[in-house]
Structure 1
Amino acid sequence: MGAPVDVVVVGSGPNGLAAAVTCARAGLGVLVLEEQPTAGGGARTLDLGLADGVVHDVCSAVHPLAWASPFFQEFDLPARGVELLTPPAQYAHPLPGGRAGVAYRDLARTVEHLGVDGRAWQRLLGPLVRDAGTLVALALGDKRSVPAGVLPRGVPTALHLARGVLEQGTALWSHRFVDDVAPALLTGVGAHAISRLPSPAAAGTALLLASLAHAGEGWPVPRGGSGAIVAALRADLEAHGGRVLTDRPVRRWVDLPPARCVLLSTGAGAAADLLGDRLPARTARALRRFRHGDGAAKVDLVLSGPVPWRAPEVGLAGTVHLGGTRAQLVAAEADVAAGRHAPAPVVLVSDPSVADPGRVVGGLRPLWTYAHVPAGSDVDVTEQVLAQLERAAPGVRDLVVASRCIPASRMAEHDANYVGGDISAGAVDLRQIVVRPTAAPDPYRLAEGVYLCSSATPPGPGVHGMPGWFAARRALRQVFDVGTAPRLAP
């Protein structure tokens, strides 16, 4: 693998690359090892061979956290040619009878369209939208310290967020709304946590993502796909002397080249296995106790035309949540949590061509979907996904040119961190959001010169690069005596 390096990073997803870029910017020699044939982890965009020229996002497709993240704010994706394209509507939620809730970037427009529940939506999300900076700082912090700028100015926002989580994460959630559209619209966002509903973790997810839909760039897609973010990170890394080697699996310590520091963008259990007796026994036990959540089964589709949504306004949204009313969503997620396949599962849908017409090639367009399933499920859920789509968009089956399903049990073949289809690299619940992956004061440092920088560390899942940034800055201070974090701007 060449001459010895200062830093080895295992894993080339957004977190691994964020760590690598940070270290390379500090003047260190950096080598990234990736087991897949292409870099990017869960943010890759690939031609799956389903239709000539049509590319699909392998995992993540829509990126509210890419513009909101402090790491990417400093890295400055737009200055590097990454265009974040905001769809006309951020997300939508079809309901029985041809109705739908739609979240527009304009909060006032959303409030107007929610009718009787518009003011309740405004009161819940308005304070968080107005102070999105504090919201993001709280959500994307290291969960061990108070983020800079929160005290004292952000205290009212923090208290409003806490009240919102207490309300929407418990049985109290039924008291705010009168009609069924707004609660379904908000619950569809909370379902990104893949957990029982209601729950504090799902409520926190809902309040964060729903608020970001009305702020900044909303819920954008990168022009050309998620791989554009990876390409920008890799280009900066290589411009500062770093290297990425693909097809380089790392399972044991002996698979690593000599280095002064190792940053692992791996799962918690995988890190324990890799480090073996180099870990204190207590730390190893804690990492192996870190729980994985339920799964997602991915279905990539190629369509010959736009999705014929029963409610036309749904076609304005880049993201659509399928699953029906709040009660139906609760029942479906309860089935999954109990180890059963829901008859009508929660399905997430992204049509990138709504914001990025260039994704349509020869009249064919990609459609990104996944269904929530029990952990480790080996079921091909194509039929269940199509059934959910057909309920909200009659005739969509006739547009399907090609499809491919990756069952939850095989998701780890495409990203080793997605054990059993857990795309969050660890169950998203209140405890594991805070105590992630262990209760250690420093959740990133595992041993002398070894750090964990994946979504198994705070602040958790999402394409935001924060675990890599936090871990790398600790490594710079503790291993290399670099007291000032390097600038990331172009």
Structure 2
Amino acid sequence: MTQPRSANIVGSGPNGLAAAIVLAQAGVRVRVWEGADTPGGSVRSAQITLPGFTHDLGSAVHPLAVSSPFLTTLPLHAFGLRWIHPDLPVAHPLPGGAALMHRSLIETADSLDADGPLYRRLLAPLIANWDDLMSEFLRPLIHLPAHPLLLAWFGIRALPPITLLAQLFRTEKARALLAGLAAHSVLPLTAPGTTAFALMLGGAAHARGWPFPQGGAQSLTDALVAYFKFLGGEVTLNHPVGHLRELLPADVTLLDVGPRALLALADGQLPERYAHKLRQFRYGPGSFKVDYALSAPLPWTDPDVARAGTVHLGGSLPQIARAEAAPHRGRVADKPYVLLAQHTPFDPSRAPPGQHTVWAYSHVPNASREDALGQLEASIDRFAPGFQHVVLGRTVSAPGTLQAWNPNLVGGDVGGGANDLWQLLSRPTFSAQPYRTPLPGVYLCSASTPPGGGVHGMAGYWAAQLALRDGR
């Protein structure tokens, strides 16, 4: 066989665009098919509350994008992308004063008092070997490691649940800070592997920061699309694909879709054994998201919280553990853990002069129809009392709304599938090459394949590299 000469990409999320760019760089003629009127998948922005207020519809902060072994090689700066780094990557409000994560590991450790030396010993080796760790972590788990000792060192520390690791720390600040990071896993905090999320996200904050694109997440997508077109690629919008037979003939087809969508696209063509595995794929809790237009910044009780781009609201480790267990039991937490991003103190281009935006969501049961606005706003009000007085407008997106906007967010799951250890190994099937489907020339390259959710483009990168190797 020879290298493929033409390719279809279905879906223009970061993985679909990464795959398209890899193939276009190799000289393949590539067309991206997108059902929406705007490219980007979950990396999009729009004015959805009031005129002049730009909100991120999906992802809002991008620590993995600036750590991605592929995205960081692209000349996106030449196509308009500007990263904004807030004063602090993360703040975690507590009644006695917020736990603050600085870009500096030393400064963060110093702020954790008695737990500072342990925190520094835990994170320093990750930061010193960050690029090597990312090259191992952001790829299929089943692979021959280039840095086996580093991977073993990380695995020993990352495998236990965060509730176990946190017992080594003495202060509420350190334990809460780790819990807030681990809760990005959307797993119960007692689950094995939750420590991995805390270490990776904590390491990213110190090694690369938690930035966001100036002007909105759409700016990242626009830069990727512009570079792809510079390479000769084509993007067709407003063209939903119902079945693979609807696509133009091409040597290879890469699908930035989830397992359920693959079943529909290849209806009647997949072997039953493979189709059964796709039907068994499990999704995690959904998200209940609210976007705010504000007349003033949030009135944080602790003024240091205003210096952070990302805020974890949930209180102590036990309180966050209770909140994150609730969706797995089919309940909306009374006091949920809330992920909140405040962009406009650092990027005033997103709102009219002197006004602001806030992006916030909590975890709820998958496909939940329960109105969780009261619980989410009570969590904000706990640390920014009276914030409702500066709210000019709000737009609520329940799990069903998120799925209607982006079909890959099944039941409001923004991570492309549950993140437990078994499914991280079998995403969406247990295979050394999970991107390859039984259909010749057809590959899966979404967040439902390794390395999973997050804006890094690596699923698209690895799937495209496989398609090129198979073609040769």
Equivalent position to 1:192, from 155, 176, 184: 184
- Counterpart of 2:113 in structure 1 is 115
Deviation at 1:269, TM superposition (A): 1.9
Residues in 1 aligned to 2:336 and 2:354: alpha-carbon distance in whole angstroms: 30
Residues in 2 aligned to 1:146 and 1:69: alpha-carbon distance in whole angstroms: 19
- Counterpart of 1:37 in structure 2 is 37
CA offset digits 1:350-371 (Å, max 9, x no partner) = 0012332322313221111111
Residues in 2 aligned to 1:317 and 1:207: alpha-carbon distance in whole angstroms: 19
Residues in 2 aligned to 1:122 and 1:425: alpha-carbon distance in whole angstroms: 32
Letter of the structure 2 residue corresponding to residue 165 of structure 1 = A
Residues in 2 aligned to 1:356 and 1:147: alpha-carbon distance in whole angstroms: 40
Contact 1:299–1:405 (Cα < 8 Å) also in 2 = yes
Contact 2:82–2:214 (Cα < 8 Å) also in 1 = yes
Deviation at 1:394, TM superposition (A): 1.1
Deviation at 1:77, TM superposition (A): 3.0
- Counterpart of 2:156 in structure 1 is 163
Mind listing any 5+ residue stretches in structure 2 that lack a counterpart?
none
Residues in 1 aligned to 2:257 and 2:410: alpha-carbon distance in whole angstroms: 11
Mind listing any 5+ residue stretches in structure 1 that lack a counterpart?
482-490
Equivalent position to 2:132, from 128, 131, 134: 134
* 1:187-226 alignment runs, 5 A limit: 187-216=179-208, 218-226=209-217
Deviation at 1:81, TM superposition (A): 3.2
Task: Name the SS of the counterpart of 1:42 in structure 2.
Answer: coil
Residues in 1 aligned to 2:371 and 2:353: alpha-carbon distance in whole angstroms: 28
Residues in 1 aligned to 2:232 and 2:204: alpha-carbon distance in whole angstroms: 35
Aligned-CA RMSD value: 1.5
Task: Name the SS of the counterpart of 1:197 in structure 2.
Answer: coil
Residues 477 and 92 (structure 1 numbering): CA distance in 2 closer, same or farther, change over 3 Å? same
- Counterpart of 2:21 in structure 1 is 21
- Counterpart of 1:338 in structure 2 is 329
Deviation at 1:76, TM superposition (A): 3.6
Deviation at 1:36, TM superposition (A): 1.3
- Counterpart of 2:446 in structure 1 is 454
Residues in 2 aligned to 1:457 and 1:107: alpha-carbon distance in whole angstroms: 32
Equivalent position to 1:464, from 453, 456, 459: 456
Deviation at 1:219, TM superposition (A): 0.3
CA offset digits 1:253-293 (Å, max 9, x no partner) = 23322222111000012112211232222211111111111
Query: What TM-score does the superposition give when structure 2 sets the normalisation length?
Result: 0.96
Contact 1:43–1:60 (Cα < 8 Å) also in 2 = yes
Residues in 2 aligned to 1:171 and 1:51: alpha-carbon distance in whole angstroms: 41
Residues 146 and 86 (structure 1 numbering): CA distance in 2 closer, same or farther, change over 3 Å? farther
Contact 2:79–2:227 (Cα < 8 Å) also in 1 = no
Deviation at 1:170, TM superposition (A): 5.9
Task: Name the SS of the counterpart of 1:41 in structure 2.
Answer: coil
- Counterpart of 1:368 in structure 2 is 359
Which ranges of 4 or more aligned residues in structure 1 deviate by more than 6 Å? none
Residues in 2 aligned to 1:278 and 1:76: alpha-carbon distance in whole angstroms: 39
Contact 1:19–1:468 (Cα < 8 Å) also in 2 = yes
Residues in 2 aligned to 1:15 and 1:137: alpha-carbon distance in whole angstroms: 16
* 1:353-432 alignment runs, 5 A limit: 353-432=344-423
- Counterpart of 2:435 in structure 1 is 444
CA offset digits 1:46-71 (Å, max 9, x no partner) = 121x2221111111011111111011
Letter of the structure 2 residue corresponding to residue 63 of structure 1 = H
Task: Name the SS of the counterpart of 1:445 in structure 2.
Answer: coil
Residues in 2 aligned to 1:364 and 1:170: alpha-carbon distance in whole angstroms: 38
Letter of the structure 2 residue corresponding to residue 309 of structure 1 = W
- Counterpart of 2:64 in structure 1 is 65
Deviation at 1:383, TM superposition (A): 2.3
Task: Name the SS of the counterpart of 1:340 in structure 2.
Answer: coil
Contact 1:221–1:355 (Cα < 8 Å) also in 2 = no
Deviation at 1:29, TM superposition (A): 1.7
The share of aligned pairs that are identical, in percent, is 41
